[in-house]
Structure 1
Amino acid sequence: MKFIIFLIFIPLVYSELHTFMTTYTGISGQNFTGTPEFSAVTTLDGHQIDYYDSDIKKLIPKQDWMEEFATIDTWKEDTEIRKHVQQVYKNNIHVLMERFSHSHGVHTFQRMYGCNLDDETGETQGFDQYAYDGEDFISLDLKELRYITPVQQAELTVMKWNNDRTQLEFLKQYFGQDCVDWLNKFLRLSKATLEKADPPKVSLLQKNPDSPVECHVTGFLFRNTTISWKKNGQAMSDKLESRDTLPNEDRTFQRTVALYVHPDEWKKNQYTCVVEHKSLTETSQKILTEDEITRNRPGLYVPVSILVVALIVLYVIWKCRK
């Protein structure tokens, strides 16, 4: 016996949470071919905007809108900073190996730092974390303005860094203001490119006639895009399931809201998927009808050309055996 569970749908409010982050990675030992000893990657909202490694020794813009920024003096300064960090990591990773009693093998030392900005609330939060071999090593507690560690091997470093009050005050200023300023600057630079993107695509999908109908929306620019269903013009609060918002490669997003209603029911009423956002000039709607549904057809479709080739191969095999 099959049970159908109807999930109560509560509209989710997705805030515009932006993240600006830089990750340094140092590798020691006989690493894999083609893997640089040091690399630095900066991301904006999970998308790479620049890249540096110890092999190319150049800072490379990874977005079209970063090309112009790469021509200013700040870009040269950032390149020199990465060269300096590269040397620091080369020295530090050997010190860490000694502390962890690692005499050989491949080991990694990483730092991940940056800040978050919530457009809806204006709240910001900085973060600064270090890891050795993928495990937590040191992190900065910005509220207490001190470094903390879960491992004994990092205690000497934590003690040294916590005694440097000048550096701690600098980091407080950076994560509280400078990092957020850079985040906003890069958001403005990328805005023109994002605004040229096509409007979101709305599709009604169904695996088979007995499956729920999914309103799939992809290509939208803002995480807090509202996707809902209406029945005869009235907002629905049940028989719906909202899936997670997922990123696309082009910095847009996609999300699905499934409608758990039997075909006999939605054929007698008008069900509509509604997509809303403050950036849209008008609400995007898709009325549920049989013609609007894209359904996975049962069975395996094999092109005629493939069938012909298969028959020829079988014929040749048969002739050879004869």
Structure 2
Amino acid sequence: MEVLCFVACFSLSLINLKNLVCSTVKHSFSGIFTASTGTSNLPEVVAVALVNNIEASYCDSKIEKAIPKQDWMENLRDGEPEYWKEYAQDCAVNRLFFEEQFHILKRRLNQTTSVHILQKVIGCEWDDKTETSHGYQNYGFDGEDFLVFDLKTLTWIATKPQAVITKHYWDRQKTTNDLWKYYLTQVCVDWLKKHLKYGRISLMRTDLPSVSLLQKTPSSQVTCHATGFYPDRADLFWRKDGEELHEDVDKGEILPNHDGTFQMSVDLNISSIAAEDWKKYDCVFQMSDVKDDIITKLDKSVIRTNQKKPLDMTIPIISTIVISVILLGGYIFTKKR
């Protein structure tokens, strides 16, 4: 679990993953490869496959095999043994290829010591209504975007000066870039459709969230928190008089829960809101393809806070006195006897 949490965190922080966000009719299949040095408690390379942003399978440089992470992935493995064999081999080959890229890059950047992390996100989106698709392949190094594959020109875009040398070298690998195009436009889409076939019941479901208002202290910001929703095609925002607010708000990213659902939150700065104006504000949760929004009014009576109400000490004090008297009486009674 620690390894998966590590991968999930870096999946969000090292590379811009906007490509993975699905619209109302899109599905996605992606692989996230993470290579690291200086982290002795982790495998050198970890690979995770996501379908619609849900973890579908896992492999790393220690176990050297693909592990299904969903019940429907086990059905795919058992129902399509030849495909699963190819799937597992692809994971192993890509892992070794990525590991070699990591070592070359460290030497090229003269970064062979201390902690370093290289990550790749590769995948595709497919629209099941228009039958259109597009692929993506991005690299991040030590927490920052590094290289992006341009599928139209079959060249690489360096997002950091340190990546320019690698960009020019990879641009010259015409055959490899043609293979990436084939994978991103055909193989990836075929794999995505196959995964959707086995995971349709789970992947096509709709789970609505529980929405809560949270606050640390009476003067701190109010957080609207929605958790337990699926899929992640959702939005959460504050309104005033029915109009969405863009100032005095801080919206967080959509994050995965351990059970395959998602959560998100948005903060509202209430320092300048008069008490009589609270009724003008509400938090709105919207989900794609769901008609009715979930609306939560800004109301002090429903806000959950860390502060505890003062306890009524009358009863405990009386109880303590009574118990003391009883014990003392028992002691005196014993002494007299």
TM bucket normalised to smaller? 0.5 to 0.7
Aligned partners of 1:101 and 1:133: how far apart in 2?
13
Q: Let me know the Cα RMSD of the aligned residues.
A: 4.4
Q: Any idea what the Cα deviations from partners look like across 1:183-236, whole Å, max 9, x if unmatched?
A: 3543564452356675311223333444454433222223334555465xxx23
Aligned letter for 2:165? Q
* Partner in structure 1 of residue 180 of structure 2: 171
Aligned partners of 1:172 and 1:119: how far apart in 2?
20
* Partner in structure 2 of residue 308 of structure 1: none
Aligned partners of 1:195 and 1:287: how far apart in 2?
30
Aligned letter for 2:268? A
Secondary structure at the aligned position of 1:68 is classed as helix
Aligned partners of 2:284 and 2:115: how far apart in 1?
52
Residue 74 of structure 1 and its aligned partner are, at CA, apart by 0.9
Q: Given the two structures, how large is their TM-score scaled by the length of structure 2?
A: 0.61
Aligned partners of 1:202 and 1:131: how far apart in 2?
34
* Partner in structure 2 of residue 64 of structure 1: 71
Is the CA contact 2:234–2:286 (under 8 Å) kept in the aligned structure 1? no
| Bigger relative contact order (CA 8 A; separation at least 6) | 1
Q: Any idea what the Cα deviations from partners look like across 1:59-85, whole Å, max 9, x if unmatched?
A: 101223322122222111122233344
Q: Given the two structures, how large is their TM-score scaled by the length of structure 1?
A: 0.63
Q: Among residues 263, 267, 270, which one is paired with 2:275 in the alignment?
A: 263
* Partner in structure 2 of residue 11 of structure 1: none
Identical-pair percentage? 30
Residue 112 of structure 1 and its aligned partner are, at CA, apart by 3.6
Q: Among residues 152, 158, 165, which one is paired with 1:152 in the alignment?
A: 165
Residue 245 of structure 1 and its aligned partner are, at CA, apart by 3.7
Aligned letter for 1:220? F
* Unaligned segments of structure 2, at least 5 residues: 1-21, 317-337
Is the CA contact 1:199–1:220 (under 8 Å) kept in the aligned structure 2? yes
Distance change (3 Å), C-alpha of 1:70 and 1:226: same
Correspondence 1:271-290 to 2 at 5 A: 272-280=282-290, 282-290=292-300
Aligned letter for 1:262? A
Distance change (3 Å), C-alpha of 1:151 and 1:206: closer
Is the CA contact 2:220–2:269 (under 8 Å) kept in the aligned structure 1? no
Secondary structure at the aligned position of 1:67 is classed as helix
Correspondence 1:1-322 to 2 at 5 A: 15-16=23-24, 19-25=28-34, 33=40, 35-71=42-78, 72=80, 73-86=82-95, 88=97, 111-116=120-125, 124-129=133-138, 139-147=148-156, 150-152=163-165, 155-156=168-169, 158-159=171-172, 161-162=173-174, 164=175, 167-187=176-196, 189-193=198-202, 199-211=208-220, 213-221=222-230, 222-225=232-235, 227-229=237-239, 231=241, 235-237=242-244, 241=249, 243-249=251-257, 250-256=260-266, 258=268, 260=270, 261-266=273-278, 269=279, 272-280=282-290, 282-297=292-307
How many residue pairs get aligned? The number is: 278
* Unaligned segments of structure 1, at least 5 residues: 1-13, 305-322
Secondary structure at the aligned position of 2:234 is classed as coil
Secondary structure at the aligned position of 2:264 is classed as strand
